[in-house]
Structure 1
């Protein structure tokens, strides 16, 4: 780079007050990730800090995540930002219409949209990064700002325990607004629902996935998180506060905007349950987008182990049953599903056959 050219400012550059992150040193120990304790002591948020030497743990430690401004804890902010390894092509200004489409969708939610905005604003005030991710970004890119947005799914650097403890909930009560219940799933998906309509989730948030432990962890960057997601056109991350679009796979932008859209798998893990769930996601979008280009998904399925179904643990089948019912409408849970699975490959057909047998037992 020429000496006369200034480097592009990093919108995610960390300050001395930024939250503790992967790669930082806390009281001399290197941070290797974060976990969540669903039953913390009274007054604790539940987020837990993992440090070097704890990869072999079987569950979250008791060590809490220190406040970024706690003077009793020495924090060396040596860790990278979540986007440190993305190229200029993979992190770009958002295209025209994405911001206005997102704002239209949130405004149309009424009080629920106020809640979503409050959560994101509070996390930004705490210097956390958050992204809208998944189908909402895909649909707004493909259909423009007037596209119908079904779900608001977010990810970011904050842990679910911190979201549970946001002062936003107390402030809403003081202002006479409705109460919301917050829940954290076993996979660390945090959600908020109106108390009177518990099934109507206003938003879902899963912190940036990490992996590599015997229990769910978070704290990775976008290039790590993306390998835990399903299809490339669902792997686009929109940051409202910086108005930036991240495409860690390098192909999600093209695949989402293609006519017809291109179905390609982003998932990069080898665990049988994760692979089986991606197969079912492929079936879901094959039914929803019958004209989509399917060849890349077929090539991915061709590389799956022949005995994948046999590797699925007994305790995993209830979750697959739930996915099956959520992704495949009742009218297609028979010959049609078997036919589509066969198009994806023999391993996919074996999985669907096993699920069909379970429903008839």
Structure 2
């Protein structure tokens, strides 16, 4: 028997038995179907606007005290590569007629990169539904109305980060520490849609949305709460000297820190999306493989990635040895004085790195941090020596 789990994707083998005791059903055979944007669908990477190929979206912060809206988004084309800031070009409300790929982003990937969830585990769709509807979770009241509003506007939305990684590892709900979303919506438009959804829901009127111009992360927060209920950032887009997002899944996977963190989950169609082609295999390695997805030569990016690497290696040590062979081969290329190179960028870059180190590892003993950093090579060891000295 073959099945597509009602996703419209290529046939796959019948899923395994239910292991959670809820009687999760097997896949059911369906005909494959390629979904496409409608003629009034949103602009996406690859469309042509005024004769230029669209790459993604920038963002112009609004005046203080005013909300983030779609008018703050900026359309980025190939003509803008090398610009110091986003152009004053708004994002059209709908894609213009003309050339362009009208398939949805996941249909632009190879068939092997899009896997029906039940092929991974018959229980996975139910586990995701339970996670999103968990009444004890801070995001329980906000995910459904925001997702519905975003999709009604023609955009795609996926689970990203730790939620996808941990559920695909068949860890329980307690392993998911926060909820991150990504999608095709530009930052300002997402904030506008999220705000609209919260205003229409009488239970969430006290929540607020905010876009960080430095990262384009949009947070949904409660008044007086120290941590956000939900975070969203559009798909990563490279090539610009300012924050930018796009709608291309393969490009996004190369902007993530590690391959196991590049896996996305479509919680409407229940699809697992591994655009890098490495996330699922690396997750299947006993103890996992921590393989860098972003091989940047930028010293700041390199330092950010190894700080996160140490965080994950400390967290996963109880699950067995983690395969770090590719990570160590990459860090072996690093210059000796990474900290010095970051400091050469200015005090702001160094302070941001210290803040990330504190956020990721403040509760981890210094000797444990040093031991894990040492295992990643002399340049990482030296970086952590400097970071640990500077925090005292």
**Shared fold (TM-score greater than 0.5)?**
yes
1:336 paired with 2:368, answer yes
Conserved in 1, the CA contact under 8 Å of 2:274 and 2:280? yes
Q: Which runs of 5 or more residues in structure 2 are unaligned?
A: 1-30
1:194 paired with 2:218, answer no
Conserved in 2, the CA contact under 8 Å of 1:27 and 1:75? no
Conserved in 1, the CA contact under 8 Å of 2:288 and 2:323? yes
Change over 3 Å in CA distance of 1:176–1:310 after alignment to 2? closer
Q: In the aligned structure 2, how far is the partner of 1:156 from the partner of 1:302?
A: 34
For residues 101-143 of structure 1, what are the alpha-carbon distances to aligned partners after superposition, in whole Å with 9 as ceiling and x for unaligned? Answer: 1221222246732311111111111121111011111111112
RMSD over aligned CA atoms reads 2.3
Conserved in 2, the CA contact under 8 Å of 1:49 and 1:61? yes
Q: In the aligned structure 1, how far is the partner of 2:40 from the partner of 2:63?
A: 25
1:10 paired with 2:40, answer no
| The one of 197, 204, 220 aligned to 1:168 | 197
Aligned to 1:108: 134
Q: In the aligned structure 1, how far is the partner of 2:108 from the partner of 2:39?
A: 21
Change over 3 Å in CA distance of 1:331–1:52 after alignment to 2? closer
Aligned to 1:4: none
SS where residue 261 of structure 1 aligns?
Answer: coil
| The one of 78, 81, 103 aligned to 2:100 | 78
Aligned to 1:355: 387
The answer to which of 232-241 and 299-308 deviates more is 299-308
Change over 3 Å in CA distance of 1:75–1:49 after alignment to 2? farther
Deviation at 1:328, TM superposition (A): 1.3
- Give the alignment's TM-score, normalised by structure 2: 0.81
* Structure 1 segment 11-50 matched on structure 2, within 5 A: 11=35, 13-39=36-62, 44-45=69-70, 46-50=72-76
Q: In the aligned structure 2, how far is the partner of 1:149 from the partner of 1:63?
A: 39
For residues 252-300 of structure 1, what are the alpha-carbon distances to aligned partners after superposition, in whole Å with 9 as ceiling and x for unaligned? Answer: 1122233222222111322211111000011001110113233332222
Aligned to 1:298: 328
Deviation at 1:163, TM superposition (A): 1.6
Change over 3 Å in CA distance of 1:265–1:184 after alignment to 2? same
1:120 paired with 2:153, answer no
Extract structure 1 runs of 4+ deviating beyond 4 A: 40-44, 144-147
Q: Which runs of 5 or more residues in structure 1 are unaligned?
A: 1-6
The answer to which of 118-127 and 300-309 deviates more is 300-309
Q: In the aligned structure 1, how far is the partner of 2:391 from the partner of 2:129?
A: 42
Deviation at 1:224, TM superposition (A): 0.8
Deviation at 1:218, TM superposition (A): 0.9
Q: In the aligned structure 1, how far is the partner of 2:325 from the partner of 2:42?
A: 42
Q: In the aligned structure 2, how far is the partner of 1:192 from the partner of 1:102?
A: 20
Q: In the aligned structure 1, how far is the partner of 2:165 from the partner of 2:78?
A: 37
Deviation at 1:40, TM superposition (A): 5.9
SS where residue 387 of structure 2 aligns?
Answer: helix
Q: In the aligned structure 1, how far is the partner of 2:273 from the partner of 2:188?
A: 26
Q: In the aligned structure 2, how far is the partner of 1:330 from the partner of 1:107?
A: 30
SS where residue 182 of structure 2 aligns?
Answer: strand
* Structure 1 segment 240-279 matched on structure 2, within 5 A: 240-279=267-306
For residues 304-327 of structure 1, what are the alpha-carbon distances to aligned partners after superposition, in whole Å with 9 as ceiling and x for unaligned? Answer: 234433321222111111111121
| The one of 314, 319, 334 aligned to 2:352 | 319
